[in-house]
Amino acid sequence: MKSFKTFAMIVVAATACTVVPVGAQTQRTAPIVVRSADSSAAKPQNSAKGDWMKGEVIHADANEMVVREQQNGMMVHTFTYTPTLQARMQRISDNGGYKYGDKVKIRYQQGQTVALKIHGRPSKSS
């Protein structure tokens, strides 16, 4: 009886140490390519000029503008200005500036936080 238990333990130990790959784990397939609906491949843009983003102003002053994307309300961006745009934004800020909720379009380089152009009408000063 003692030799049977020893034999059984040896078989269990040998089985546990043996690794056999399963056939389903060894096959490789090509990756699946998925394109989003708003991908840049859908509409070619001139990357030198930058991309336009429609948004709603959260905060704006002469140094920066915080904007919520119109397409995705959870995305918030903070932009600084180019030197020429900063002079213009200082004049706009002196006259009342952009207020919370104003609609703007901002041109910027993808992956950067510097606004190249801003279109939109600032609120009337009260």
**pLDDT tens readout for residues 85-103:** 999 999 999 989 999 999 9
Per-residue pLDDT, 109: 92
Q: Could you tell me where the DSSP H helices lie in the chain?
A: 2-17, 23-26, 83-94
Q: Report the alpha-carbon distance of residue 17 to residue 36 in Å, rounded.
A: 46
Do 109 and 91 form a contact (C-beta atoms < 8 A)? no
Q: Give the chain's mean pLDDT.
A: 82
How far apart (Å, rounded) are the C-alpha atoms in residues 83 and 126? 28
Against a cut of 0.85, is the pTM above it? Answer: no
Q: Which CATH architecture has domain 51-119?
A: Beta Barrel (2.40)
- C-beta of residue 98 within 8 angstroms of C-beta of residue 57: yes
Query: pLDDT grade, residue 42 (50/70/90)?
Result: very low
Report the DSSP beta bridge partners of residue 49.
none
- Pairing of the two strands 76-81 and 114-119: parallel
